[in-house]
Amino acid sequence: MQKFFPEGVLLNTAANRRLTQTAGALAEAAMEQAVVEARAVLCDSEHNLHVELPCMEGIIPREEGAEGILEGTTRDIALISRVSKPVSFLITGFDYTPDGKRRAICSRRAAQEKCRHEYLASLKP
């Protein structure tokens, strides 16, 4: 079972650096459904978060930015306020930017759901 930490704790760990260093390592993280971290560097006009990965650009689409965004129970400020801060996410796939560079598609919502199902649900008051 994976351990879950507040956002920012994993950013500078050896394990996180290893899983984000190369495209192959990111693919491995995707297959393992490993939670990784990177710094959010931009929230664009569509409220997608852009994350800084060592080997390529990463993007967290608006609807994948936090639990409750799609349902309207979480406001977009939960995304905007993450700029310049570390964010935790799962790699859900890859695509290409308009200029032809490879890009990782990421989901912060999936990492939050994984934490809720695998950790929070097991806690007893």
Q: How many domains does the chain have?
A: 1
Query: How far apart, in Å, are the Cα atoms of 118 and each of 1, 28, 80, 115?
Result: 8, 20, 27, 5
**115 within a domain of the structure (yes/no):** yes
> Domain span at residue 96?
14-122
**36 within a domain of the structure (yes/no):** yes
Tokens 């939670």, residue located: 35
**88 within a domain of the structure (yes/no):** yes
**5 within a domain of the structure (yes/no):** no
For 65-123, the pLDDT digits (tens) are 999 998 999 999 999 999 999 999 999 999 999 999 999 999 999 999 999 998 888 88
Residue 5 is predicted with a pLDDT of: 87
Which 3 state secondary structure label does DSSP give 33?
Answer: coil
**6 within a domain of the structure (yes/no):** no
**What CATH number corresponds to the domain at position 115?**
2.40.50.140
What is the Cα–Cα distance from 17 to 8, expressed in whole angstroms? 13
**8 within a domain of the structure (yes/no):** no
**3 within a domain of the structure (yes/no):** no
* Whether the predicted model's global pTM rises above the 0.95 cut: no
